[in-house]
Chain A
Amino acid sequence: MTQIPENIMPNSEPVEMLLNMGPQHPSTHGVFRMVLWVDGEKIVDVVPHIGYLHRGSEKLCEGEQYNQVITLFDRMDYIANFNNEHVYVRAVEKLMGLEVSERSEYIRVILCELNRIASHMLFIATMGLDAGAMTPSMFCFRGRERIQGLFESVSGARMMHNYFRIGGLKEDVPDDFVHQVREVLDLVKKDTEESDKLLSFNEIFLARLKNIAVMSAEDAIDFGLTGPCLRASGVDYDVRKAAPYSVYDRFDFDVPIGLDGDCWDRYYLRVQEVYQSIRIVEQALEQLPSGDVASSLGRRLLRPPAGEVYVRGENPRGELGVYLNSDGTDRPYRIKVRPPSFCNLSSLKHMLKDSWIADSVVILGALDIVLGEVDR
């Protein structure tokens, strides 16, 4: 009788295969790389690799004047530029004790919420693509394109706006801004409803997302998740409500929370957040005061007093924190960013445990990372 080699015995140890996913993979949302150890179709272990998009943004900030840093923040979370700018300018304003005019605050909030809608629409689109549905992405991109057209009319750029200034805004919005936003909001609402109807309760989509990568509330807090990923696990925490900044305390809006903490909850929560953001923008448009938006500082070189400050804000992806240390010169001494994507990504290993290869794509998609922010 011939000897059967040890390694093909049926009850020998499972043979694991190393599967490299990324950085050039259509579903890793940029240049993220996962090294998966797979046993057949099951994932045994994962080693995430980041840093392919590292540009040293934090260090670069130290070499720029305070007003120039805004452009670098635009390029961190490049899907939600306004939200990033907002947190940074608020940090400097807090350090300098600046008052910002009512009108600028309202316009900032309107733009930030619009940017949140645009970002979530991109998420819904990519979530559909990750699960294999092509059509919802087109509905969502149409809506996002409308919002970006609006941004272009306001700031002159579709993505890297560089529109917020320390103490105000670059310039006032166009005359028909309110009218334009109202028009776009109606259309965006329709786009979202369309893709919602097509995708959210589709049986196959549910089969793919429901009960995948369940995170309990305790786990979510332990991993430092913030934003939709945290709220999907049932934790009612939103910086806009928990520590209201800007003029967020003047609006009536709900913070949707999920109950199961699975991928579908993470998805559906963002769909609901789109509707809430639309509510906020509608209210802000109602209340929008007239007045000046230019910074009281004019075009002077900024020299904030020496000191340090930590400011946080609710980005579409979670809580963005900016630590700013000034030594009294015209350039920041140190800027440290707490990027939500990076912290959310740290839970990936926990989530991918015992999932299928096909799930890894969906799980990563539901985390909604932006590599520009993860690697900075």
Chain B
Amino acid sequence: MNLLAAVTIPDVAIFVLSAALSLAGAVGILLAKNPVHAALSLVMTLFGIAVAFIELQADFLAAVQIIVYAGAIVVLFLFVIMFLGVDKREDLSVEPIVGQRSTAAVLVLGLMASIIALGFIGHFEVGPASQTAELTGGAGNVADLGRAVFTTYLFAFEATAGLLVIAVIGAVVLARKPEAKATAAVVEEGEQ
């Protein structure tokens, strides 16, 4: 079976664009001295992954990716960076622990190599994919996803509602100011 037979030039162009965007953004996060620049690089990576989702015909997820990640999560990051005033440059030339970077590089390269090697030499039993119909793209994909979320995954969907409420309450409890009238010792005890 020739895998590359069906690959068309526009598909390759879109894939290369998404890979370039996401990898450039990822390296940007790694090398950014200023947290604000890292957050902007994160937007670039998330956009590149949204392009990859469109190439995979997961249109709804691409839109959600932009709205939730680029729209909400990165804005939250930027808000906290500016709220705390930590947007100063960090000196990356000194290694905090001797050998930290080389050890991390060896570990991560070993991880990546072993995952890719497993993918090529491993044989995975994935069930009868060919017997089911191919996933639809476009509006059909949104309908399929909605049907799955509200039938098969209904319990998980309801559980996420509880999770979000808990997260909001947790964030308010964590980030609120300690009460002014309490003494320093009481604040020490009461605030975990």
Q: Are chains A and B native binding partners rather than an unrelated pairing? A: no
